[in-house]
Amino acid sequence: EKGGYEHFMLKEIFEQPQTIFDSFRGRLDAEQLRVTLSGLDSISDKLLKARRIIIVSCGTSWHAGLVAEYIIEELCRVNVEVEYASEFRYRNPIIDENDVILAISQSGETADTLVALETAKKQGATIFGIVNVVGSSIARLADAGVYTHAGPEIGVASTKAFTAQLVVLQLFALRLAQLKGTISDERFKTLIEGLAKVPEQVDWILKTQKATIRAIADKYRGSSDFLYLGRGYNFPIALEGALKLKEISYIHAEGYPAAEMKHGPIALVDETLPVVFIATQDPFYEKIVSNMQEIKARKGRLIAVVSEGDTQAAELAEDYIVVPQADEILAPLLSVIPLQLLSYYIGVERAVDVDKPRNLAKSVTVE
């Protein structure tokens, strides 16, 4: 049932061209310039009135929420807050019937998320679920929603469910922006055409970068700490890269917004510390390159994820991985792929049971 792969995690990473496609199939029409999400349309009055959207989730799903915050604010011009479900539920949050809560969960059974939603629902908020498991508790509790079509995810470390969440969140932002009139036809067209290309771009990364990523994993597998840095839409991907590494290799890793490193983490940098930069072509590129120079000056070991055709970041780095160029809003879907694979190979090299790492459960049904 692992389809010839050594682990479920590897199978699930390699399924992503298909699961990304499945998550937009029937919902995105690049020719007619249309995004169809009937779940969203069914609460469009609430969404158009809402002064803010609150995203509630945990772990990797929380990282998808952070990416969504950037995308929804940019495209829909509405305030978005992203909350850890466990914090949100206990701090007596101020919620009323004008609030829309976006719940993101692979399993649909995460206890903290579920209880946070129940509380918000009692206070009158509208709950919109982005869930993978059909008929799960969160899906049933939601007033409306959209399923991600990642299929069953067995590996404890979330991979294909995360990229499916990103796709659905992008569709959500595009449809809402269209309803609100906050996106130009041209931008809309660029983004849906770009999204339609993502499956083949992910496939390209998996096929052409696998050997490089394996070699990088082999080279750095003995490190005791890693730092992951990114900016803008790729900042949450730095967090996700670090989480994946912690979960399946037991190596300590931290993700940070690249500019924030000067405010503390840079003190960690020495000639033993691998620093993974997400340095793809986007409006932050020059800034990222200068952050890389700062790390290099302190002898940190630079590993970079760069866009095809890159010169500066690739040249600065000791090792680099290439991803295709994409619109900055779509970029996280590509830049996360090499980080998933890097963690996988490091985990395997360190003989960790990557599908079932110690102390972790696939769904956290206790608080």
Q: Is the dihedral of CA 337, 202, 327, 130 positive or negative?
A: negative
Residue 106 or 234 having the CB closest to ligand M6R: 106
CB of 22 to ligand M6R, least distance (A): 18
Tell me the residue nearest to ligand M6R as measured from the CB. Answer: 59
Cβ atoms of residues 347 and 249 within 8 Å: yes
CB of 158 to ligand M6R, least distance (A): 4
CB of 356 to ligand M6R, least distance (A): 11
CA dihedral of 243, 249, 251, 254, whole degrees rounded to 10: -10
Contact residues toward ligand M6R (CB under 6 A) are 58-61, 105-107, 110, 113, 156-158, 247, 360, 363-364
Quick check: is 362 catalytic? yes
Please name the residues in contact with 264: beta carbons below 8 A apart, sequence gap of 6 or more.
Answer: none
Residue 268 or 364 having the CB closest to ligand M6R: 364
Residue 161 or 183 having the CB closest to ligand M6R: 161
The one catalytic residue in 180, 219, 356, 362 is 362
d(CA 367, CA 85): 10
CB of 346 to ligand M6R, least distance (A): 15
C-alpha separations of 101 from 43, 50, 56, 129, 293 in Å: 12, 10, 7, 8, 41
Residue 61 or 119 having the CB closest to ligand M6R: 61
CB of 236 to ligand M6R, least distance (A): 13
Pairing, β 34-35 against β 28-29: antiparallel
Strands in the chain per DSSP E: 28-29, 34-35, 52-57, 79-84, 100-105, 126-131, 144-147, 225-230, 252-257, 274-279, 301-307, 319-323
Residue 58 or 100 having the CB closest to ligand M6R: 58
Residue 33 or 364 having the CB closest to ligand M6R: 364
CB of 157 to ligand M6R, least distance (A): 4
CA angle, corner 134, sides to 128 and 138, nearest 5? 40
Strand, helix or coil for residue 2: coil
d(CA 218, CA 366): 36
d(CA 89, CA 85): 6
Per-position DSSP letters for 87-119, written without gaps between them: HHHHS-----TT-EEEEEESSS--HHHHHHHHH
* 305 secondary structure, DSSP code: E
Task: Point out the residues that are catalytic.
Answer: 362
